[in-house]
Amino acid sequence: MAQTNSSPPSDFIREMIEEHIRSNRFQGRVATRFPPEPNGYLHVGHAKSICLNFGIAAQYKGACNLRMDDTDPSGESLEYVESIINDVRWLGFDWEDRLFYASDYFEQLYQFAVQLIETGKAYVCSLSADEIREQRGTLTEPGKESPYRNRSIEENLALFAQMRAGKFEDGAHVLRAKIDMVSPNITMRDPVFYRIKRATHYRTGTQWCIYPMYDFAHCLSDSIEKITHSICTLEFENNRPLYDWILDQLNVDYHPQQIEFARLNLSYTILSKRRLIELVGREHVTGWDDPRMPTIAGMRGRGYTPEAIRNFCARIGVAKNDNLVDISLLEHCVREDLNERAPRVMGVLRPLRVVIDNYPEGQVEEFECPNRPQNPGMGSRMVPFSRVLYIEQEDFHENPPKKYYRLGPGREVRLRYSFIIKCVNMVKDKQTGEIVEVHCTYDPETRNGPPSDGRKVEGVIHWVSANHSVPAEVRLYDRLFQIADPMAKEDDFTKYLNPRSLETLTSCRVESSLAGALPGSRFQFERLGYFYLDPKDSSPGKLVFNRIVPLRDSWAKVASQEKK
């Protein structure tokens, strides 16, 4: 059962697992689980956990379960369950027939609670929520024992049965563990295990009016599923003694090991479910799947690939340090993946009309353009050329800045895969002074190579033929926040939302080959970035592209430094 491959463990969790395998702690078994609560969409922080849990299971020939941790009906819904299932599968993981629900264990959990009462380890407490809070003590003061702590087992049993039977109002009683009100670990001060809550559960409906708390349900669910390693985030470290206490009192036959790791934080975004819900609720974004969101659904809609996300998760590592991972690493992983697989095309985002004065009116010729120059196996397509073209507005400057080697008055530039052209004139709008058209001449002998007189033309720009290109809408996405760590600020985090996180361009022109492109496919628009043909918003005759990530742009750096 233990793997034979001798590659060293890559993190402290795998190290511990290998130690358990050596010592035969779980008979060599490895079983993990990913246990989301279906009260929101999964984000890239969850992706880290998914990759960890499923990755470990695969590596050690074990299995990873998908379990909905649905013990609090308020906020949970089928919509979220479906999104979670969809997202984990899209990421590339398979739980086979092991989709479980904590709510399926409600009856078993109830029986475990009864056992605890029978052995005098739990009691029904009739204090109000406020009173319980007051008597819990503080960080520095011990708590006080509840006056209901010493009720008889019979009375507790009867009361608990009545709680289940719906005899009491919400909040009238709770079931608490009888542990230690003066424990320095506040988690151990007689924690609540069951509360009365008349809420319709999306799966069990009104069958129950009492629901188990996380601490009680989670360890037992793990035990029921015979999980060996229950991997969770750092904030549950204080809860581990309780996790172990419950399983010890109940003398269950399976006692998993809880291991905690540091959750992912990503710069220029937020990964707190609560805050994400707020962004959706306050309509700062269009929904959970808004392409600016760090949710799996958002990244999918943006055009990120599962491979890129998985690779990112592998690279950030697993440790116990608080961290704020640079989002440029995620962007790097996306580019790295797309560089290999995205075919190159040309598209002009902000068109500037170019007339080639010495090119015959009505003439059209085609250039064969490789879909990926570095990989001839990806084929090529024909791109039409004619007298009137569009180039990018920013590829022309009337007064070119230093180190700029694109088009300007009297300057020459290479049209990608086409001729060298020279700017001979420009037309300005009489009112605004804005350049609306540029006139050039082309050099026919440069069609297949450099000019014979040896002159150097450094600039290469992309272009499309005015008459042959097709219109497109392009959405330029940028970072959601303007500062690296919006959560570190005391005030309202929405203050730091990036007002330019979305720019929609509606008069873009893309090469004709894109007219029949498959929705959901990804392209590199040469010199610009990677783009995703949005399958939700595109329709026959209407192309809508999302910018997945821009290309690295060293000119932007030069330009901004020249300005200083």
Partner RNA sequence: UGGGGGAUCGUUCAAUGGUAGGACAACGGACUCUGACUCCGUGAAUCGAGGUUCAACUCCUCGUCCCCCAGCCA
Measured CA to CA, the distance from residue 50 to residue 43 in angstroms comes to 10
CB 227 within 8 A of CB 33: yes
DSSP state of 309: H
- By CB under 7 A, the residues from 27 to 46 that bind RNA are 35, 37
78-91 helix and 44-59 helix, angle to the nearest 10 degrees: 60
| Residue 339 binds to RNA (criterion: CB under 7 A) | yes
Site stretch for RNA (CB under 7 A), options 158-166, 356-364, 409-417, 496-504: 409-417
| Residue 106 binds to RNA (criterion: CB under 7 A) | no
Which residue is listed with tokens 């570190």? 488
Whose Cβ is closer to RNA: residue 290's or residue 386's? 386
Nearest by Cα to 478 from 549, 559, 532: 549
Which one of 53, 258, 418, 469 is in contact with RNA (CB under 7 A)?
418
**Amino acid type, 363:** Q
The neighbouring-strand residues paired with 176 are: 123, 192
- By CB under 7 A, the residues from 202 to 221 that bind RNA are 211, 213-215, 218
| Residue 374 binds to RNA (criterion: CB under 7 A) | yes
Measured CA to CA, the distance from residue 517 to residue 531 in angstroms comes to 12
Catalytic residue list contains 500: no
User: Nearest distance from residue 1's CB to RNA, in Å?
Assistant: 22
Measured CA to CA, the distance from residue 85 to residue 281 in angstroms comes to 22
User: DSSP E strands: which ranges in 247-346?
Assistant: 257-261, 344-345
| Residue 455 binds to RNA (criterion: CB under 7 A) | no
Q: Which of 18, 37, 237, 278 is catalytic?
A: 37
547 three-class SS: strand
Whose Cβ is closer to RNA: residue 4's or residue 140's? 140
Catalytic residue list contains 37: yes
Nearest by Cα to 354 from 509, 472, 529, 559: 509
- By CB under 7 A, the residues from 314 to 333 that bind RNA are 315-326, 328-329, 332
Q: Which of 273, 300, 310, 475 is catalytic?
A: 273
- By CB under 7 A, the residues from 511 to 530 that bind RNA are 524, 526-527
What would the two tokens of residue 382 be? 């024909």
CB 288 within 8 A of CB 299: no
| Residue 258 binds to RNA (criterion: CB under 7 A) | no
Measured CA to CA, the distance from residue 341 to residue 277 in angstroms comes to 34
| Residue 447 binds to RNA (criterion: CB under 7 A) | yes
Whose Cβ is closer to RNA: residue 19's or residue 429's? 19
The neighbouring-strand residues paired with 435 are: 428
User: Nearest distance from residue 286's CB to RNA, in Å?
Assistant: 26
Site stretch for RNA (CB under 7 A), options 89-97, 231-239, 276-284, 433-441: 231-239
Which one of 403, 495, 500, 542 is in contact with RNA (CB under 7 A)?
403
What would the two tokens of residue 12 be? 């402290």
From residue 46 to residue 85, what is the string marking binding to RNA with x (rule CB under 7 A)? -----------------------x-xx-------------
The H-or-E segment that residue 125 falls in is strand 122-125
| Residue 234 binds to RNA (criterion: CB under 7 A) | yes
What would the two tokens of residue 443 be? 């050099």
User: Nearest distance from residue 142's CB to RNA, in Å?
Assistant: 9
Catalytic residue list contains 25: no
Just list the catalytic residues: 37, 263, 273
